[in-house]
Structures are given as structure tokens and as C-alpha cells.
Amino acid sequence: IIHLEYAHSMRYNYDCPICRRSFSRRDNFKNHLRTQHNNSTTTDTFLKNDSNIPTQDEMQISSESNNEISEEPIFVFDADAKAKEFENIVKESVLHLIATLHNEISIPRSFIQKIIDLISKFLNAGFLSILKEFMLPSDCLTNIQKAKDLIDFLAVCFEPLDTEYKRLQFFYRSKKYIEPQLKIIGSSWDVSNKNNKTSMILKNRTCTFI
């Protein structure tokens, strides 16, 4: 009613308290109550005092109040924010994987790169390429293009880490690398024989802790 009233200049002054129909004329409203609802008592009581009928200002205030109450937050998909979140998750996962591999004493260091190569081949085995075919780039489909870029990023996430030195630098940049600490665990005498002379030198014994 408020929309019709202000947007289309259709004014209603009488609202039926039973079925909520609105009428612009008092006699039409009165006739409606008596014929449709067969309730003269309700009709007479409701029409005795026009103060029961809301004014235009009251109707507008009521509408604004209802709008404020009924308003709910609208979810807006932020493609750039989601893309950044995706990249951060991938980097954290790669970091965790490499840390786990290096922490496994039973895995030779020379075999770690082989494991990473196998994982990279797994990611590029073919299913990512098929998935890309469903995401054709379009000027009107920015989110689909962004999703394609994310898949491309995932497919090459190990490429910058193909040597142990690069992996070490990756840990440094992540600020999660803990350098090995050299600890003195004791001392011992080293015996040296030179020119038929024997000498003993006390030296510290150390161990590296990771």
C-alpha cells in the first residue's frame, strides 16, 4: 500500500482489520465489512472513531520501521578476497607438506624431490585440464575466469621449490623456519703425534639440534 501510495499516487485510507484489504472511500469500506464479513458490531466499532485509521505519516513511519527490522545482510561474493584466501591455503599446505617430509628421518633427503615431483604429476594428471574446459573465459563471467586462474596457480605451486636451496629460502620467507642450534654436549682429548711428539688437546664436542 505504501508503495502504491507514493510511487503510483494511489491512496488508501481504510484498511480492513480482518482481511487487510484497503479502501479509499468510507462507504465502500463499511459495505465491505458488512457484506463480506457479516459483522455489524465490528463495523460500527471500527468506524466510530477515525483515529483507528492510520494517517499517511504514520503509515510511512510504520513502513520504514518494518523495513529496518526486516532488512537482512546481503551476502556479496568477493572473488578477489576468495582468490587471495585460496592462494594462502595452498601456500600453507605446501609448507606443511615439505616440513613433514623433511621431518621424517626415514625419508632420504634425495628422495624428497622425487615425492614432490610425483605430487605435481598427480595434480596435472588430467582432471584439472578437464575442469578447465567447463570454465571458458568471458567478459561477463569474471568469477569463472578467476576460478580458472586459481586452478592454474594450484597446478604450478611446486615449481618454485625444485631444489633444496629454494625450499630453504621458501621456509625463510614464510618466517616459520627454525634454524638448527649447535649445542656443546661435552669435551674430550684429541691426541696429536707430530715429529715424534705426542700432544693432547681438549676439544668441545657439539651436536646440532633441530
pTM of the full structure: 0.44
Level-2 CATH architecture, domain 1-37: 2-Layer Sandwich (3.30)
Whether residue 130 has pLDDT greater than 80: no
How would you write the chain as a 3-class SS string? CHHHHHHCCCCCCEECCCCCCEECCHHHHHHHHHHHCCCHHHHHHHHHCHHHCCCHHHHHHHHHHHHHHHCCCCCCCCHHHHHHHHHHHHHHHHHHHHHHHHHCCCCCHHHHHHHHHHHHHHHCCCHHHHHHHCCCCCCCCHHHHHHHHHHHHHHCCCHHHCCHHHHHHHHHHHCCCCCCEEEEEEEEEEEEEECCEEEEEEEEEEEEEC
184-199: pLDDT as tens digits: 888 888 888 888 888 8
Whether residue 7 has pLDDT greater than 70: no
pLDDT, the chain, mean: 74
Whether residue 57 has pLDDT greater than 60: no
140-156: pLDDT as tens digits: 567 777 778 888 888 88
The more confidently predicted of residues 71 and 166 is 166
* Domain locations along the chain: 1-37, 79-162
